[in-house]
Amino acid sequence: MSEALKLTDFRVSFPTLSGDVQAVRGVDHAVNQGELLAVVGESGSGKSVTFLGLMGLLPNSAVIGGSAVLDGVELVGADPKVVRRARGKKIAMIFQDPLSSLNPVQRIGVQIVEMIQSHQDMPKRAASTRAVELLDMVGIPQPDQRSLQYPHEFSGGMRQRVMIAMAIANEPAVLIADEPTTALDVTVQAQILEVLQRIKTELNAAIVLITHDLGVVARVADRVEVMYAGRPAEMGSIDALFDHPSHPYTVGLMRSLPSSDRARLVPIPGAPPNMLAPPSGCAFRPRCPHAAPVCAGDVPSLRPFGDLETACVRAEEIAAELIEAVR
Amino acid sequence: MIAADELVGITVASVSPRKQAYLRFKEHKAAVGSVFVLTVLVLAVLLTPLTARYGVNEPVIDIKVAKNQFLPPRSEAWFGTDDIGRDIYSRLLYGVRVSLLIGLASAIISVVIGVAVGAIAGLKGGLFDDIMMRVTDIFLAFPILVSLLVMRNVLGAISWMKPIIGELSSVRFLIFLFAIFGWMGVARVVRAQVLSMREREFIEASRAIGAKNGHIIIRHMLPNSVGPILVALSLSVVGAIISESTLSLFGYGPNVGAGSTSLGLLVGGSAKAARAGYWWLVVFPFAALLIITLCISFIGDGLRDATEPKASGGRA
Amino acid sequence: MIRFVLRRLLWAIPTLLLVTFLVYCAIRIGTDPVQSYKRANSRLTAKKIAEFKEINGLYEGFGGYVRGYFQWLKGFLTGDWSKSIFRNGDVWPVLKNALANTLVLGITASTLGIIIGNALGVFAALRPGRLRDTAVNSAALVGLSIPPFVSAIILQLVFAIYWQRWFGGGSLFPTSGVYPPGHSGFDLFLRIKHMVLPVTVVAIQTIAVYSRYMRASLLDVMNSEYLRTARSKGVSERRVLVRHALRNALIPVTTLAFLEVGSIVGGLIITENLFEYPGMGRYFLNAYSSGDFPQLMPWMVIIVASVIVFNLLADIVYAFLDPRIRLD
- For the residues C172-197, what does the mean pLDDT come to? 76
Q: Positive or negative CA dihedral for B186, B187, B192, B195?
A: positive
Query: C327: pLDDT confidence band, cut at 50, 70 and 90?
Result: low
Question: Residues C9-19: what's their mean pLDDT?
Answer: 85
Q: Hey, are the CB atoms on B316 and C141 less than 8 Å from each other?
A: yes
pLDDT at B108: 93
Out of C27, C153, C307, closest to residue B282 by CB: C153
Helix pair angle (C148-156, B222-249), 10° resolution: 30
Of A69-83, A142-156, B32-46, B78-92, the one with minimum mean pLDDT is B78-92
**Which chain B residues have a beta carbon less than 8 Å from that of A249?**
none
Q: How far apart are CA A236 and CA A270, in angstroms?
A: 26
- Pick the residue of A73, A114, A163, A174 with the most C CBs within 10 A to test the interface with C by mutation: A114
The mean per-residue pLDDT over the stretch C185-200 comes to: 83
| Side chain identity at residue C248, one-letter code | N
Residues 6 or more apart whose Cβ sits within 8 Å of residue C103: C264, C265
**In what side-by-side order are the strands of the sheet with A303-305?**
A91-94, A174-178, A206-211, A36-40, A223-228, A231-237, A308-310, A303-305
- Tens of pLDDT, residue by residue over B83-138, are 888 888 888 888 899 999 999 999 999 999 998 888 888 877 788 888 888 888 88
- Residue of higher predicted confidence among C207 and B56: C207
Chains near C with 3+ CB pairs less than 8 A apart are A, B
Closest Cα in chain A, distance from residue C127 (Å): 13
Is B131 part of the contact surface with chain C (CB cutoff 8 Å)?
A: no
Record: contact C234-A119, CB cut-off 8 A? yes
Number of H helices, E strands in chain C: 17, 0
pLDDT of res. B11: 47
Task: Identify the band that residue C144 occupies on the pLDDT scale cut at 50, 70 and 90.
Answer: confident
Determine whether the interchain pair B245/C147 forms a contact, defined as Cβ–Cβ distance below 8 Å.
yes
Smallest Cα distance from A294 to chain B, Å = 12
Per-residue confidence band for C168, with pLDDT thresholds at 50, 70 and 90: low
B297 vs C32, C145, C161: nearest CB: C145
| Higher-confidence position of A178 and B60 | A178
Tell me the nearest-neighbour CA distance from B141 into chain C, angstroms: 7
- Give the range among A16-20, B99-103, C84-88 with minimum mean pLDDT: C84-88
Q: Which residues contact C10 (CB under 8 A, 6 or more apart)?
A: none
Contact C30 B153 (CB under 8 A): yes
Residue among C26, C27, C270 minimizing CB distance to B145? C270
How far apart (Å, rounded) are the C-alpha atoms in residues C187 and C195? 12
Q: Which has more confidence, A112 or B226?
A: A112
**Helices C92-112 and C280-290 sit at what angle, rounded to 10 degrees?**
140
Interface with chain B: mutation pick from C23, C32, C133, C157, highest number of B CBs within 10 Å:
C157
Chain A positions in Cβ-Cβ contact with residue C230 (cut-off 8 Å):
103, 114
pLDDT digits (tens, 9 = 90+) for A240-255: 888 888 998 888 888 8
Q: Are A162 and A108 in contact (CB under 8 A)?
A: yes
Residue of B1, B2, B9 with shortest CB distance to A271? B9
C-alpha distances in Å from residue B77, one per residue of B56, B90, B286: 13, 9, 17
Is 70 exceeded by the pLDDT of residue A168? yes
**pLDDT for B21 beyond 60:** yes
Mean pLDDT of A194-218: 89
Task: For chain C, positions 306-325, list CB contacts with chain A under 8 A.
Answer: 321-324
Chain A residue with CA closest to B10: the answer is: A274
- Tell me whether residues C228 and A57 touch, CB distance under 8 A: yes
* Contact residues, chain C to chain B, C-beta under 8 Å: 19, 22-23, 26-27, 29-32, 128-129, 133, 137-138, 141-142, 145-147, 149-150, 153-154, 156-157, 160-162, 216, 219, 263, 266-267, 269-270, 273-274, 284-285, 288, 303-304, 307-308, 311
Greater pLDDT, B161 or B39: B39
Q: B312 contacts in C (CB within 8 Å)?
A: 128
Neighbors of chain B by Cβ distance (3+ pairs < 8 Å): A, C
DSSP tag of B308: S
**Which among A176-185, C19-28, C103-112 has the top mean pLDDT?**
C103-112
Q: How far apart are CA B291 and CA C210, in angstroms?
A: 24
Res B14: pLDDT: 64
Q: Mean pLDDT throughout A60-89?
A: 90
pLDDT reading at C166 higher than 70: no
Q: Region B227-238: what's the mean pLDDT? A: 88
Q: Which of C209, C202, C266, C26 is nearest to B180 (CA)?
A: C26
pLDDT at C78 over 60: yes
CB contact under 8 A, B6 and A286: yes
Q: Which of residues 231-250 of C touch A (CB under 8 A)?
A: 231-236, 244, 247-248
- Taking only the tens place, the pLDDT of each residue in B141-161 is 888 889 889 888 888 887 777
pLDDT at B13: 56
Task: Please give the ipTM for the structure prediction.
Answer: 0.87
Which of B8, B10, B12 is the mutation pick for testing A, counting most A CBs within 10 A? B8
> What's the confidence (pLDDT) of residue B8?
43
Query: What pLDDT is stored for residue B314 in this prediction?
Result: 36
Identify whether the C-beta of residue C175 lies closer than 8 Å to the C-beta of residue C197: yes
CA-based nearest distance C251→chain B, Å = 19
Q: Give contacts of A 74-93 with C, CB under 8 A.
A: 84-89, 92-93
CA A288, A292, A298, A300 torsion-angle sign: negative
Q: How far is A26 from chain C (nearest CA, A)?
A: 23
Q: Which residue pairs, CB below 8 angstroms and at least 24 apart, start in B134-137?
A: B135/B184, B136/B184, B136/B187, B136/B188
User: Which one of B2, B9, B10 has the shortest CB-CB distance to A285?
Assistant: B2
CA distance A29 to A23: 17
Mean pLDDT estimate for chain C: 86
| C138 interface with A at CB cutoff 8 Å | no
Report the C-alpha gap between C103 and C117 in whole angstroms: 20
Which whole number is the average pLDDT over B175-186? Answer: 89
- The answer, yes or no, to whether residue C294 has pLDDT greater than 80, is yes
Over the stretch C24-76, which tens digit does the pLDDT of each residue have? 888 888 888 877 787 777 777 888 788 778 777 787 777 888 888 888 888 88
- B64 at C interface, C-beta within 8 A: no
Test C269 with B146 for CB contact under 8 angstroms. Answer: yes
d(CA A309, CA C128): 45
Do the Cβ atoms of C254 and C317 come closer than 8 Å?
yes
CB contact under 8 A, B5 and A269: yes
Q: Do B158 and C29 touch (CB under 8 A)?
A: yes
Q: Is residue C190 scored above 50 in pLDDT? A: yes
A118, A119, A152 member nearest C324 (Cβ):
A152
A52, A93, A105: best to mutate for the C interface, most C CBs within 10 A = A105
Neighbours of chain A (3+ CB pairs under 8 A): B, C
Q: Go through chain A and tell me how many residues it has.
A: 327
Contact between chains at C19 and B154 (C-beta distance less than 8 A): no
> How would residue B10 be classed by pLDDT, with cut points 50, 70 and 90?
very low
Chain pair A-C, CB pairs under 8 angstroms: 68
Q: Can you give the pLDDT at residue A261? A: 66
Write the residue in C141, C270, C311 that is nearest to B246 by C-beta: C270
Q: Please tell me whether residue B249 adopts helix, strand or coil conformation.
A: helix
Phi, psi values for residue A235, rounded to 5° = -150, 145
Q: Residue A235: left if φ>0, alpha if ψ -120 to 50, beta else—which one?
A: beta
How confident is residue A44, by pLDDT bands cut at 50, 70 and 90? confident
CB contact under 8 A, B7 and A270: yes
Rounded to whole angstroms, the Cα distance separating A94 from C228 reads 10
- The secondary structure of residue A210, as a DSSP letter, is E
Q: Measured between CB atoms, which of A88, A105, A119 is closest to C232? A: A88
Asked if pLDDT for residue C227 goes beyond 90, the answer is yes
Residue of B nearest to A290 (CA): B1
The minimal CB distance from C156 to the residues B30, B145, B274 is found for B274
Q: Residue C177 above 80 pLDDT?
A: no
The pLDDT score that the predictor gives to residue B5 is 39
More confident residue, C222 or B26: C222
Q: What is the pLDDT of residue A260?
A: 64
What CA–CA distance (Å, rounded) separates C19 from C24?
8
CB nearest B290 (choices: C19, C133, C150): C150
